[in-house]
Amino acid sequence: MESIGVLITHPIYTYLEKELSKRFNLIYLSDLPSHHIINNNINSSIRAVVCDVKNGADTELIESLPKLEIVSTFSVGYDKIDLEKCKERNVRVTNTPDVLTDCVADTAVGLALAVFRKICVSDRYVRDGHWLKANFQLTNKFSGKAVGIVGLGRIGSAIAKRVAAFGCPISYHSRTEKSESGYKYYPNIIDLASNCEVLIVACALTKETYHIVNRQVIDALGPKGVIINIGRGPHIDQHELVLALTEGRLGGAGLDVFENEPDVPQELFGLENVVLSPHVGSDTVETCNAMADLVIANLEAHFLSKPLLTPVV
């Protein structure tokens, strides 16, 4: 397989790149004159693209690679890949589900605990040389809070299991009811928000879920409610979220994703009820290595004409 050209759209993860380079002819997008150049020698040798959550494979890139057969993303989400173009060109697409479920679910719970118990504020307090004083603000309990989950797929279900251990009553909103889950189902997300204290967004980004958390949902959650987002930034109308947080119409937020990454609204920086993280839900050594192995296994399966392990299309 050493002669097969695999394009890396930008540096992704050292272990993945090292392992890929042992098996394939690894080409970096930055080494190409421009990915707008169609049919040059290099583009014609590329049969696979490896991308990730930050830089996907857009129409232009796919169209510029005449020999492209497969796009393998180092992420579970594939919203940055032009799936329609891939289908049209008969290009296969794979992602990395399951192996990252635990870590993303852990991140959601971690953010919730950090917001309710103001863990980052406490950390800064101690680093600034303080210790408990009478005026140190009390925090809020997370255990037992009513949790509403948006999207009860693999990650949403893993979050539910975890928060159940905190004694949290669980309800959810998703496209279809999953009666076997035993959790309360709300066909309408506003009803879910009105009946929970913590809203955790864990669904995939599609046309239907774009801005699924809008002003009405935020207001239904109210000044004591907390939003946790480990899905995608555009799930939430960020303008409305920032307004609600700065006006005190929402109790707090734990955000691992943002609408225009890497931009993070400056208005959030001064808010103690907000915890910010740079889209690192799955970023542990264990998970990233497992994701990398899955990317490679999918590519090897494809080029050996075996069934893909985790096909998207």
> Catalytic pick from 92, 232, 235, 302?
232
- Rounded CA-CA distance 282/132 in Å is 34
> Among residues 7, 46, 48, 53, which is the contact residue for ligand DGY, using CB under 6 A?
53
Is 279 one of the catalytic residues?
yes
Are the CB atoms for 95 and 76 separated by under 8 Å?
yes
Is 232 one of the catalytic residues?
yes
Number of residues that bind ligand DGY (CB under 6 A): 8
Q: Give the binding range for ligand DGY (CB under 6 A) out of 14-22, 71-79, 117-125, 268-276.
A: 71-79
- Nearest approach in angstroms of CB 288 to ligand DGY is 10
User: Of the candidates 309, 308, 283, which has an alpha carbon nearest to the alpha carbon of residue 75?
Assistant: 283
- Nearest approach in angstroms of CB 95 to ligand DGY is 8
Query: Is the bond preceding 97 in cis, omega lying within 30 degrees of 0?
Result: no
Q: Which residue, 100 or 274, is less far from ligand DGY as judged by CB?
A: 100
Q: Does 292 bind ligand DGY (CB under 6 A)?
A: no
What is the contact mask toward ligand DGY in residues 79 to 108, using x (rule: CB under 6 A)? ---------------------x---x----
- Nearest approach in angstroms of CB 37 to ligand DGY is 30
DSSP string, 251-283: -EEEES--TTTT---GGGTT-TTEEE--S-TT-
Contacts of 169 (CB under 8 A, 6+ apart): 146, 147, 184
- Nearest approach in angstroms of CB 75 to ligand DGY is 3
> Catalytic pick from 35, 235, 279, 302?
279
Q: Does 151 bind ligand DGY (CB under 6 A)?
A: no
Q: Which residue, 100 or 217, is less far from ligand DGY as judged by CB?
A: 100
Q: Which residue, 7 or 155, is less far from ligand DGY as judged by CB?
A: 155
Q: Which residue, 155 or 168, is less far from ligand DGY as judged by CB?
A: 155
Are the CB atoms for 235 and 212 separated by under 8 Å?
yes
- Rounded CA-CA distance 299/43 in Å is 18
DSSP string, 52-105: ESSS-B-HHHHHT-TT--EEEEESS--TTB-HHHHHHHT-EEE---STTHHHHH
Contacts of 258 (CB under 8 A, 6+ apart): 233, 238, 264, 265, 279
Q: Does 281 bind ligand DGY (CB under 6 A)?
A: yes
> Among residues 9, 72, 75, 94, which is the contact residue for ligand DGY, using CB under 6 A?
75
> Among residues 27, 62, 70, 76, which is the contact residue for ligand DGY, using CB under 6 A?
76
In the complex, the residues that contact ligand DGY under the rule CB under 6 A are 53, 75-77, 100, 104, 281-282
- Which residues form the catalytic set? 232, 261, 279
